[in-house]
Amino acid sequence: MIPDKAPKDDVFHGAEEIRSGAHVPTFEKYKEMYMQSVQDPDKFWGDMAKEFFWKTKHNGRFLDYNFDVTKGDIFIKCMEGASTNVCYNVLDRNVHDRKLGDKVAFFWEGNEPGDELTVTYRELLNSVCRFANVLKSQGVKKGDRVAIYMPMVVELVVAMLACARIGAVHSIVFAGFSAESLCERIVDSQCSLLITADGFYRGDKLINLKLLADEAVQKCRDKGFSLETCIVLKHLSKEAPETSLSSPPAKRPCPDLQETETGRVRKTHPVPQVPWNPKVDKCWHTLMCEVSDECEPEWCASEDPLFILYTSGSTGKPKGVLHTISGYMIYTAATFKLVFDHRPDDIYWCTADIGWITGHSYITYGPLANGATSVLFEGLPTYPDVSRMWQIVDKYHVSKFYTAPTAIRLLMKYGSEPVHKYKRDSLKVLGTVGEPINPEAWQWYFTVVGDSRCPIVDTFWQTETGGHVMTPLPAATPMKPGSATFPFFGVVPAILNESGEELEGTSEGYLVFKQPWPGVMRTVYGNHGRFESTYFKKFPGYYVTGDGCRRDEDGYYWITGRIDDMLNVSGHLLSTAEVESALVGHEAVAEAAVVGRPHPVKGESLYCFVTLCDGVIFNRTLEAQLKKQVREKIGAIATPDFIQDAPALPKTRSGKIMRRVLRKIASGERDLGDISTLADSSVVEQLFQNRCCSAV
Ligand code: PRX
C-alpha cells in the first residue's frame, strides 16, 4: 500500500536542515514505523502511552473493536482497565514531572494589536484548578455535560481543561453559531451549565455573545429544558491585558458585569451592555475569587467521555461526535509531535478556532500534551490589515504554522508584498487543514510564505477521526501539491468502488478505513444507531469517511471532496439539508434545494434555489429576509451567497430533486450529461435564464 520507494520526480521537499534531529527523518523510517504500527498496534501505541501517567494500568489488548455491523454492535475500546486524567497529563505532568512550570503555554494575541497575555504552564494549571473548583461549587459532577460558548481567549482553554479535570464532558459550540444552534446542542446533550463571555470583536465587528447566550437559554426553556447556571467571563471589559491569569485572587477585580458600562474600554472599541439575570448568571471572576487553587484530578476510566463536538449531519440534524479519554489523548499527542515534528523550542501557531475540532486537537490537547508553546489568536487574518498573520509570525518567532486553504487563498489575493514586509525566517513547517488545497494555493504557500524552505503538511482528517489520518511527515514525505500523501501510523485506508470492492493501484472511489486508531470517535452522543448507520452501514467492515479519493501511480492519496450532501464552505462542513430546512422554515418558501458553487476563496459558496408559495413575489426584501433566516437558524457561516427564485425544481419522475443538474446551473455549466430521467426538462432552461451571475 505504501510504495517501496518515494518518487523522485515532480515532488517537493523542504530544506535539508529539517531532517536533522527530526522524529521521522526519512521515507524509509516512515515506512518501517508504519509497518510496525499496523502489524503490531498494541506495541506501537503501548510505547506511545508510556509517556503518560496512568493511575491504573490497562489489562488486555490496547485496542479492541468491531468495525463490521453484520457481526454485531460497532465498538472501539482503547486501554480497557486503565484510569487516568487528561488534564493531569497535559498540565500537572508538565509542571511537576517535566519541570516545565515556567515554560509559556500560550502567547495570547487579541483581536486588537497590542492586546496580549502570556500564560505559563504553572499559571494555566493554577487557573484550571481554580475553575475546576468553581464548576464543582456549581454542582457539576463527573459525567455531566457542560456547554461552552466563548471567544478565543485563554479562559476557553481553562474551561475545557477544568471540565476534563473533574471528569465533566465539555461540549463547545463555536461562537459564530446562532442562539438557535446553541440551544439545539445544549438540549441534545442535556448540558447542566453554560459558560460564555460578555462579547468579543471580530475585526471591527462586535459580537454580543451574552445576548445570544441569553436567547439560547430562553429557547431551551421554551423547549422545556431548564439550564440553571450561566457563568459569564468579562472579556471585553476586563482589566489591563497584562493582568496575568495567575494574579493572586485578591488582586483580580471581581466587579459585577453591570458595572462594566463605565469599566475599562479596550482601545477604540466600546464595551457592550450586558443584561444580567442574577438567578442564572454568575460572574466568572467573582467565582474564581471564592475558591482554592488546589483540585485533585478525578481519575477516569480510559473509555469515559472527554468531550462532545457537534458536526453537520447529512440529514440536517447535527451529530454529537463523542471522543473518549485515553485514545484521544494519545492520538492527538502523537500526531502533533510527529506531523509538526515538534521540538522543545518551537513556537507553534494554529489559526483555527477552538470551537472546531482543529482547535480541540491542535490548540489544546495535542500541543499541551507535548509541553509546547503556542500562539492563541483571537482575531482575523485581515485585521487591521492583511499583513497581520506575518506580523504575528515575526513577533513570536513562530516556527510551526497551521492554517486553512481558505485563509491562504484569501491572503493570496493581496499578492506577496504584505507577506514580504515581514521576515518569517523562524518558520520551519507549514500546515493546512479543512479542505483540499488547490495546487496554486499550495505553491503560493510554499514559495511566498515559506520561501521554498518549509515543507507543507496537508493534513486530511475529520471531527470524527479526532486527529490527522492522512498526512505527509515534514522531513520524511516528498510532497505533491494538493495531495494529503499517505496514512498516519496505525491508519489503514482503502478505496472502494460502488459495490464495496477494494480497488488496487491507480484508482478512484470512496475513502474508507479498515481498522481503528486510538483517536477515532466512539459514538454519536445519545444515538449509537446513527453512528452505525452513518459510518459503517454502507460498506460493512469499514469506517466510511464520506469523502472521495484518488490514488495515483506513485500510491499518493488525493482527497477529491465530499460525496454526500455536505458542503465545505471555508473549511467548515455544512449540511445542505440543514440550510434547506432553515429556508423552508420561512412562511414564503414552499421548497428549497441548496448546492455548492465553486468559490475562489471559500472553496464552495452556498447557492440556494427556492420555490415560493403561491402568490408570493420574489424580491430583494424577501431575499434579505431569507438570508437572515438562515443566519439566525444556523449562524453566519451558513449565510447563503445566492438565492434564486425557482418556479419549479428539476425532479425525476419519482420526485427526487436532481442536485447534479442544480450544481451545473449554479456554476453556469451547460453540459448537463444525461437528463433523460427528468420529469419536465423545460424547468432547466427556465432556471438557466434566471441564474444569479454576480460574483460573490
Ligand atoms: O471533506 C474533508 C474535509 O473536511 C472534512 C471534515 O470536516 P470537519 O469534520 O469539519 O473537520 C475539519 C478539520 C479536520 C473531511 O471529510 N477535509 C479536511 N481536511 C482536508 C479535507 N479535504 C481535503 N484535504 C484535507 N487536508
- Euclidean distance between CA atoms 534 and 460, whole angstroms: 19
- In the reported structure, the alpha carbon of residue 331 is separated from the centroid of ligand 1 by a whole-number distance in angstroms of 17
Using a 6 Å cutoff on CB, does residue 462 contact ligand 1? yes
- In the reported structure, the alpha carbon of residue 488 is separated from the centroid of ligand 1 by a whole-number distance in angstroms of 15
Using a 6 Å cutoff on CB, does residue 405 contact ligand 1? no
For residue 652, what is the DSSP state?
B
| Consecutive H or E run containing 390 | helix 388-396
- Closest ligand 1 atom, CA of 464? 9
Using a 6 Å cutoff on CB, does residue 311 contact ligand 1? yes
- Closest ligand 1 atom, CA of 566? 1
Report the relative pairing of strands 543-551 and 557-562 from DSSP bridges: antiparallel
Contact 27, 478 (CB under 8 A): yes
Q: Please write the tens of the pLDDT for every residue from 329-345.
A: 999 999 999 999 999 99
- Euclidean distance between CA atoms 325 and 319, whole angstroms: 19
Pocket test for ligand 1, best of 173, 460, 471 (most atoms within 8 A of CB): 460
- Euclidean distance between CA atoms 344 and 367, whole angstroms: 11
- Closest ligand 1 atom, CA of 545? 16
- In the reported structure, the alpha carbon of residue 436 is separated from the centroid of ligand 1 by a whole-number distance in angstroms of 8
- Euclidean distance between CA atoms 67 and 45, whole angstroms: 19
Using a 6 Å cutoff on CB, does residue 568 contact ligand 1? yes
Taking CB atoms within 8 Å and a gap of at least 24, the contacts of 65-69 are: 65/515, 65/516, 67/514, 67/515, 67/516, 67/536, 67/541, 67/542, 67/543, 68/536, 68/540, 68/541, 69/532, 69/536, 69/537, 69/540
Q: Residue 238: what pLDDT?
A: 57
Using a 6 Å cutoff on CB, does residue 562 contact ligand 1? yes
496 strand-pairing partners: 502, 510
- Euclidean distance between CA atoms 54 and 183, whole angstroms: 37
For residue 93, what is the DSSP state?
I
Contact 550, 542 (CB under 8 A): no
**Closest to 290 in 3D by CA, of 230, 231, 249:** 249
Q: Residue 320: what pLDDT?
A: 98
Nearest residue (by CA) to ligand 1, atom 22, is: 435
Rounded to whole angstroms, what are the CA distances from 2 to 132, 289, 397?
46, 56, 36
- In the reported structure, the alpha carbon of residue 547 is separated from the centroid of ligand 1 by a whole-number distance in angstroms of 9
Establish whether the linkage from the previous residue to 647 is cis, with ω within 30° of 0: no
pTM: 0.92
Q: Which is it for the CA torsion 508, 511, 513, 518, positive or negative?
A: positive
- Closest ligand 1 atom, CA of 432? 26
Q: Residue 274: what pLDDT?
A: 87
Q: Residue 673: what pLDDT?
A: 85
Using a 6 Å cutoff on CB, does residue 436 contact ligand 1? yes
Using a 6 Å cutoff on CB, does residue 454 contact ligand 1? no
Nearest residue (by CA) to ligand 1, atom 3, is: 435
| Consecutive H or E run containing 368 | helix 366-369
- In the reported structure, the alpha carbon of residue 616 is separated from the centroid of ligand 1 by a whole-number distance in angstroms of 39
Looking up cell 455531566, which residue turns up? 144
Burial grade of 2 (CB within 10 A; 0-12, 13-18, 19 or more): middle
CA 416, chain centre distance (Å):
28
Using a 6 Å cutoff on CB, does residue 357 contact ligand 1? yes
Using a 6 Å cutoff on CB, does residue 567 contact ligand 1? no
Residue 679 C-alpha cell reads as 420529469
- Closest ligand 1 atom, CA of 463? 9
- In the reported structure, the alpha carbon of residue 465 is separated from the centroid of ligand 1 by a whole-number distance in angstroms of 10
- Closest ligand 1 atom, CA of 458? 26
Using a 6 Å cutoff on CB, does residue 442 contact ligand 1? no
Pocket test for ligand 1, best of 442, 544, 547 (most atoms within 8 A of CB): 547
Looking up cell 434547506, which residue turns up? 580
Using a 6 Å cutoff on CB, does residue 459 contact ligand 1? yes
Angle at CA of residue 44, ends 40 and 50, nearest 5°: 140
Nearest residue (by CA) to ligand 1, atom 13, is: 434
**Closest to 179 in 3D by CA, of 233, 218, 235, 228:** 218
- In the reported structure, the alpha carbon of residue 561 is separated from the centroid of ligand 1 by a whole-number distance in angstroms of 8
- In the reported structure, the alpha carbon of residue 202 is separated from the centroid of ligand 1 by a whole-number distance in angstroms of 24
Cβ within 8 Å of residue 654, ≥6 positions away = none
Using a 6 Å cutoff on CB, does residue 570 contact ligand 1? no
Pocket test for ligand 1, best of 356, 462, 557 (most atoms within 8 A of CB): 462
Using a 6 Å cutoff on CB, does residue 358 contact ligand 1? yes
Residues in the chain predicted with pLDDT less than 70, given as ranges, are 238-269, 694-696
Q: Residue 223: what pLDDT?
A: 97
Using a 6 Å cutoff on CB, does residue 433 contact ligand 1? yes
- Euclidean distance between CA atoms 677 and 8, whole angstroms: 48
Helices (H) and strands (E) in the chain, counts: 20, 31
Q: Please write the tens of the pLDDT for every residue from 214-273.
A: 999 999 999 999 999 999 999 997 543 333 344 433 333 333 333 333 333 344 467 777
Q: Please write the tens of the pLDDT for every residue from 402-444.
A: 999 999 999 999 999 999 999 999 999 999 999 999 999 999 9
Pocket test for ligand 1, best of 442, 520, 559 (most atoms within 8 A of CB): 559
- In the reported structure, the alpha carbon of residue 460 is separated from the centroid of ligand 1 by a whole-number distance in angstroms of 6
Q: Residue 106: what residue type?
A: F
- In the reported structure, the alpha carbon of residue 573 is separated from the centroid of ligand 1 by a whole-number distance in angstroms of 8
Nearest residue (by CA) to ligand 1, atom 25, is: 460
- In the reported structure, the alpha carbon of residue 177 is separated from the centroid of ligand 1 by a whole-number distance in angstroms of 19
Using a 6 Å cutoff on CB, does residue 484 contact ligand 1? yes
Q: Where are the alpha helices (DSSP H) in 56-207?
A: 86-87, 121-137, 154-166, 179-188
